[in-house]
Amino acid sequence: MNKCYINGIGCISAQKTFDGGFLNEVEVNTTEVIISAKNPDYKAFISPGAIRRMAKGVKMGIAASQYALKEAQVEIPDAIIAGTGMGCLQDSEKFLKAIIDNKEQYLTPTSFIQSTHNTVGAQIALNLQCKGYNFTYVNGAISLESALLDALLQIETGEAGTILAGGVDETSGHTMSLYELVGLIKHKDQVPMDILNPKTPAAVFSEGAGFFVLESQKKSTTYATLEAVGIYNTLRQNEVVSFIENFLTTNNLKPHDIDAVVLGNNGDVAFDGYYNEAERLFPSTPLVYYKHLSGEYNTATSFGLWTALHILKKQEIPQIIQKNQVTKHPIKRIILYNQYRGKDHSLTLLNHADL
Closest approach of Cβ 32 to another protein, in Å?
Answer: 22
Residue (23 or 34) nearer to another protein, CB? 34
Angstrom distance (rounded) from CA 68 to CA 89: 24
Angstrom distance (rounded) from CA 7 to CA 31: 36
Residue (78 or 259) nearer to another protein, CB? 78
Q: Do residues 87 and 172 make contact, with C-beta atoms less than 8 angstroms apart?
A: no
Closest approach of Cβ 115 to another protein, in Å?
Answer: 7
Residue (24 or 105) nearer to another protein, CB? 105
Please name which of 325, 28, 31, 49 lies closest in space to residue 189, comparing C-alpha atoms: 31
Angstrom distance (rounded) from CA 85 to CA 301: 11
Residue (229 or 311) nearer to another protein, CB? 229
Residue (235 or 253) nearer to another protein, CB? 235
Closest approach of Cβ 212 to another protein, in Å?
Answer: 18
Residue (71 or 150) nearer to another protein, CB? 150
**Count of CB atoms within 10 A of residue 312's CB?**
26
Closest approach of Cβ 173 to another protein, in Å?
Answer: 12
Residue (156 or 227) nearer to another protein, CB? 156
3-state SS of the chain?
CCCCEEEEEEEECCCCCCCCCCCCCCCCCCCCCECCCCCCCHHHCCCHHHHHHCCHHHHHHHHHHHHHHHHHCCCCCCEEEEECCCCCHHHHHHHHHHHHHCCCCCCCCHHHHCCCCCHHHHHHHHHHCCCCEEEEECCHHHHHHHHHHHHHHHHHHCCCCEEEEEEEECCCHHHHHHHHHCCCECCHHHCCCCCCCCCCCCECECCEEEEEEEECCCCCCCCEEEEEEEEEEECCHHHHHHHHHHHHHHCCCCHHHCCEEEECCCCCCCCCHHHHHHHCCCCCCCEEECHHHHCECCCCHHHHHHHHHHHHHHCCCCHHHECCCCCCCCCCEEEEEEEECCEEEEEEEEECCCC
Closest approach of Cβ 110 to another protein, in Å?
Answer: 9
Closest approach of Cβ 73 to another protein, in Å?
Answer: 21
- Footprint of another protein (CB under 8 A): 80, 85-87, 92, 95-97, 99-100, 103-105, 107-109, 112-119, 121-123, 125-126, 128-140, 142-143, 146, 150, 153-154, 156-157, 159, 174, 177-179, 181-182, 184, 231-234, 343-344
Residue (43 or 236) nearer to another protein, CB? 236
Closest approach of Cβ 277 to another protein, in Å?
Answer: 17
Closest approach of Cβ 213 to another protein, in Å?
Answer: 17
Q: Do residues 85 and 296 make contact, with C-beta atoms less than 8 angstroms apart?
A: no
Residue (22 or 112) nearer to another protein, CB? 112
Closest approach of Cβ 248 to another protein, in Å?
Answer: 16
